[in-house]
Structure 1
Amino acid sequence: MATFKVQDFSRLGGSSIKELANDFTEKLAKQEGAKQLTTAELTTEVWDKLQGTWVGNKGWNLISVPAMGSKPDGAGDFKLLIQPYIETMTFTDAGAHARNRGGIADQFVAALEYHQRVTDQKTGELLHVENGMFMNLSEIVDNDGKELPLPQFNIARSGTIPHGDSIMLLGRPPVVTEGRIDFPEASTIPTDFGPGFGYTDVFTHPSMEGNLFKSDPNKTLSADLDEMEKNGFKVKKTTTFIFDSDNSGGIHNIPFIVKHANAVRMQAFFWLEEVENTNTGQVFDQLQYTQIIDLDFQHPLGKDGKPDQSKLIKWPHVTINTMVKQ
């Protein structure tokens, strides 16, 4: 991807100074040895590294869905689906920057197109197809020569999924840290399910499905790195970037989805890792990710033992994978 250049315009550097509470990247940025990418580094070091084809056969899909025969106005009867999967994800440069004209200031958006294809590891059945863009929103140029603050969120991801969903997720600049990171918890346990019993049993008994930690799939990502280290592969550097629909973005769903299992929030955590084979000295790029989609469906039981029609249970739909660039 070409470096951003506009003749007769000045570039604003840096990133938004507004801090976000409980932001995972904020915690990373405060670690010793961490650095936050500038706008130019974001484009050249992250977007450029993503370009190409990534393949991973360590994917896991964990999703709770309404049980067969259950009704939207009923109690939380559900079925847990767990599937190992193989994935191919391709990123390509979208070309020239898109110019957003704003009068006294213009924004120049650099984008990567992506195509994601996921198949069941056991059956080969197609599970998921998605097309979208990763966007760098950092370049804002003041036509009057005065500096304006950069957007609070200066990376974005758009996507279209054939279930009938479209997403717009935004995030803050990536953070680079030395070595591997400690993954945050990615709980799959439903919330707001009321006093009913048995909702969490299927997530914890048994606690494993293959090598998947059912209640926290990020432990599986960590275990993947542990296994690599045993075989002489060491993570030298990790770049973390996160997209979230709650960051001034959103999800739009078709009416059927809204009625039966409404997707209300999506978070996507990406870890771009520089890995060294200590046996040969070879260095290669690896991409690990966790995506969490909150699905709202079924009513929790109230104190009277009847479905509480004023509330919905929130069910985390979690997918993970470890991928290598081809």
Structure 2
Amino acid sequence: MSIPQTPTPPYPEYSDAVLDAPANYGILEQLIGTWVNVNPNKSATGWGLHTTCMPSPGTNTETIFGIFHFLCEDYTEELSFAPVSGGVRNRGGTNEQFAGAIEYKQSVQRVSDGVGIHEEVGMYLWLNEMYNHAATEQSVIDDNGYPLISIGAGANGPNYVPPYSIARSGTIPHGSAIMLTGNFQQDVPGKPAFPTGTDSWSAPFVQSWPDLQIANAPNLASSPLAISPSMGASALLVPPNGNTAEAAPLNLDEPAPAWAFDKSLTVTQPDSNLTYFQRIVADQHYPYSVRPDLRLRDAIKDQNISKYTLIQLSSKHDGGPQGGILNTPFVKKFANVTEMSLNLWLETVIEDGQEVLQLQYEQIIFFEFMVGSNGQTTRWPHIQINTLRKKPAC
């Protein structure tokens, strides 16, 4: 069934019977259940992955330029969604919104030793259930409306059209709370398209990711690369010999370049951009350490996917109502979380003639801490990706 992306005025008239109606969860209803990694062969593409840059021990925000610690780890997780019964009523006078709320809980463990590395709770909200609530004789009497408002006022609107269909709130124990908003595109034929070769590196510098943009996100705001321009990344990388004529993008489908393993760079070119992010390219998880969502691409490479739905949320939009992020004072000072986006693909996989629902996600978060030699604040991507299947219902 096709689900409209936005409600269409005029809205149905509100009555108290709405209070007893079941909640409408829209496209989010497909999330309900518990999702886990299904990786019996323990293949690399079957695990989740995160990349995280953090301040290095001994550094501070005022005097040491961008010395950072880098982590790239495989993880497994359990991601559960449970519906909140009944629509959640938001009263706006003439306009009333009944949100369909779904609680989520995410628990993440490192593959190497089973240690927990992330816990998160929150809610997804479906925001498209709208009603018109005109003034009645009883409301005018109860609320002392006469003579300023008459019976039937508001019957013809104005109607509020929600700018976004979906919202997500979330809290993590590090001390950050998020509000993301956005939209969805349902039943896109085929499988999600991911780049290959040099496009995997260079495309994010000239076009938004993914190609299908539905959340009104700022242009190029959420690059899928684990190395941001403020960390020295650029579409064309000048080799260690300094010959700009040989500048070229990384080909993320080929082995890491030799300079990634050249230990002399820290001495011969201590201020080089390549030296700065060399360890990310040399990481054992390459190319996923550089562009984590290529693991999503490789996980579905041999799958028969008939269609998918993309849910795209962001804390920041290109104009209009915004989401946001709040941090505790310590986090705000030393690793300020400033921006977050989510791409979530719900894929219909055909296996043995049966349809199987699969969830892939990519979360891109930006920390801001320390400054570069040019005095500008450095933006550090923190990226999480995973491919999950639903646990069978008990």
Give TM class, smaller chain: 0.7 to 0.9
RMSD: 2.1
Q: Which runs of 5+ in 1 are unaligned?
A: 4-8, 13-41, 303-307
SS at 2:224 equivalent: coil
Separation in structure 1 between the aligned mates of residue 161 and residue 187 of structure 2, nearest angstrom: 20
Q: What is aligned with 1:244?
A: 314
* Alignment of 1:156 onto 2:156: no
Q: Which amino acid aligns with 2:326?
A: H
Aligned partners of 1:196 and 1:300 also within 8 Å: no
Separation in structure 2 between the aligned mates of residue 292 and residue 273 of structure 1, nearest angstrom: 20
* Alignment of 1:209 onto 2:285: yes
Give the drift of 1:11: 7.2
Q: What is aligned with 1:141?
A: 131
Q: What is aligned with 2:60?
A: 71
Q: What is aligned with 1:314?
A: 379
- Consecutive aligned runs of 4 or more in structure 1 exceeding 6 Å deviation: none
% same residue: 33
Give the drift of 1:67: 0.7
Give the drift of 1:118: 0.1
Aligned partners of 2:106 and 2:119 also within 8 Å: yes
Q: What is aligned with 2:237?
A: none
The equivalent position to 1:283 in structure 2, one of 355, 369, 393, is: 355
The equivalent position to 1:174 in structure 2, one of 185, 202, 209, is: 185
Per-residue Cα deviation, 1:173-204 (whole angstroms, up to 9, x for no partner): 33330110113361111332477532222222
Aligned partners of 1:11 and 1:140 also within 8 Å: no
SS at 1:246 equivalent: coil
How do residues 1-326 of structure 1 correspond to structure 2 at under 5 angstroms? 10=12, 43-44=25-26, 46-56=27-37, 58-73=47-62, 74-143=64-133, 144-146=154-156, 148-183=159-194, 184=210, 186-193=224-231, 197=273, 198-205=275-282, 209=285, 213-226=288-301, 229=302, 233-247=303-317, 248-277=322-351, 280-302=352-374, 308=375, 311-326=376-391
* Greater strand fraction, Structure 1 or Structure 2: 1
Separation in structure 1 between the aligned mates of residue 155 and residue 334 of structure 2, nearest angstrom: 52
Q: Which amino acid aligns with 1:319?
A: Q
Separation in structure 1 between the aligned mates of residue 184 and residue 385 of structure 2, nearest angstrom: 22
Separation in structure 2 between the aligned mates of residue 108 and residue 145 of structure 1, nearest angstrom: 18
Number of residue pairs the alignment of both structures matches: 273
Aligned partners of 1:114 and 1:132 also within 8 Å: yes
SS at 1:298 equivalent: strand
**TM-score normalized by the length of structure 2:** 0.66
Give the drift of 1:283: 1.6
Separation in structure 2 between the aligned mates of residue 176 and residue 146 of structure 1, nearest angstrom: 34
Q: Which amino acid aligns with 2:389?
A: V
Tell me: CA distance 1:11–1:217, structure 2 relative to 1, closer, same or farther (3 Å).
farther
Give the drift of 1:59: 0.4
Q: Which amino acid aligns with 1:203?
A: I
SS at 1:138 equivalent: coil
